[in-house]
Amino acid sequence: MTTNVDPDKTSESAPIEIHLSAGAAAEAAPSAGAAATAAPDQPDLGPAVFQIRDMGVWYGNHEAVRGVSMDIPQNAITAIIGPSGCGKSTALRCLNRMNDLVPGARVTGQVLFGDDDLLSADVDPVDLRGRIGMVFQKPNPFPKSIKDNLEFGMKVNGIKATAERVEQALRDAALWDEVKDRLKAEAFSLSGGQQQRLCIARAIAVEPEVILMDEPCSALDPIATLAIEDLMKKLAERYTLVVVTHNMQQAARISDFTAFFMLGELVEFDLTSKIFTKPEKKITEDYITGRFG
C-alpha cells in the first residue's frame, strides 16, 4: 500500500499533490468487523497493530498529551505531523514505553498491541522494545564497528548473531553494497545518511514487528533523505512503520495514513490523501496550507 506524490513537487515549499494508488484505495475500503474496534473519528483501516484509547502523558504536573484515541493499521506507514511541541514525539514514545526512561513521566489510558496492554506492569519494556524498534532523530550508532553495532542488538535480544543475519539486515537497510568490504570499520566513519541506515539495520536485525521513527531525516541532506524515504517504503512491505515528521511534503510522499496533532491532542486521523486534499477540520486545513506552524 503506497501513497504517491507528484515527483516534480517534492521541496518543502512546493504545493502538495497526492495520488492514491489503486492498492491503497482497495486496502482502505471498510473490512468486515473493523467498525467494532475502530477508534472514534477515523476511517475503517483493516487490521490494527495498535489500538490507542484515551491516552494521556504527564510530565510531573504538565499534561503533554491528552485524550488520544486512534487505531494504527498494520503493514502501512502512518505519519504523525503537527507544529513543534504538539506532542508528536511524546505520543510516539508511548508505543514502546520509551517514556518510562523520562523522570516524572506518567502515561494514562490504554495502548493495546495485539492482546497486550503496553501500559500494564506485566509488560517487560526490554522485551517490548525488541518487538517494537525505534530510530531516532539523529543517527546514534554505538561507538563500535559496523558489524558490532548489529551483533550487539541481536545478543541483547537473545538472537544468535551470525554473518548471515548481519548481511541480511544490511541488505534490508540498503547498506550492504556500501559497507560489505569494511564491516570492521568504525560506525562513525560512515556518512550521516549511512549512519541512519545502519541504525535502521540495527533495529530490523532483531526482527521487530513495528518500527517507530522520530524525525529520521531531519539531520540529513536531501539526497540522504530520499534514500531513507525509499527505504521506508520498502520496509512497509514487511513491517508497520509509524513516523513522526515535521516535513509535510515528506508525510505526503511516504505515508498511507496521517495523524495531525495540535497542542497535545489528536485533531484528525485519516488517509493521507484525504488529510492533504480534503481534511475534515478547518484547523487541519490551516496547518496543511501553511497558515500557521
CA distances from 120 to 59, 113, 116 (A): 19, 11, 8
pLDDT at position 163, please? 95
Lowest mean pLDDT segment, chosen from 42-46, 78-82, 105-109: 42-46
pLDDT at 290 over 90: no
Where exactly are the structural domains of the chain? 3-8+16-288
Average pLDDT over residues 47-59: 95
Q: What topology does CATH give the domain 3-8+16-288?
A: Rossmann fold (3.40.50)
Cβ atoms of 146 and 187 within 8 Å: the answer is: yes
Lowest mean pLDDT segment, chosen from 26-40, 209-223, 236-250: 26-40
Cβ atoms of 24 and 38 within 8 Å: the answer is: no
Cα–Cα distance for residue pair 95/119, rounded to 1 Å: 9
pLDDT at position 74, please? 92
Which residues, including other chains, have CB under 8 Å from residue 41's CB and lie 6 or more apart? 268, 269, 280
pLDDT at position 43, please? 58
pLDDT at 274 over 70: yes
Cα–Cα distance for residue pair 259/76, rounded to 1 Å: 13
pLDDT at position 44, please? 61
pLDDT at position 38, please? 45
pLDDT at position 108, please? 96
Q: Report the percent of the chain where pLDDT is more than 70.
A: 84
pLDDT at 2 over 70: no
Q: Report the percent of the chain where pLDDT is more than 90.
A: 75
Instruction: Using pLDDT thresholds of 50, 70 and 90, give the confidence band for residue 184.
Output: very high
Q: Mean pLDDT score of the chain, rounded to an integer?
A: 86
Cα–Cα distance for residue pair 278/10, rounded to 1 Å: 20
Rounded-to-10 torsion of CA 71, 130, 122, 49: 20
- Count helices and strands (H / E) in the chain: 11, 12
pLDDT at position 48, please? 92
Average pLDDT over residues 151-176: 92
Q: Which of 97-101, 134-138, 257-261 has the highest mean pLDDT?
A: 257-261
Angle among Cα 119, 149, 139 to the nearest 5 degrees reads 70
Q: Quick one: cell of 52?
A: 490507542
What's the helix, strand, coil split of the chain in %, to 5? 35, 25, 40
Cα–Cα distance for residue pair 173/135, rounded to 1 Å: 12
User: Tell me: the pLDDT tens digits for 21-44?
Assistant: 333 333 443 333 333 344 545 556
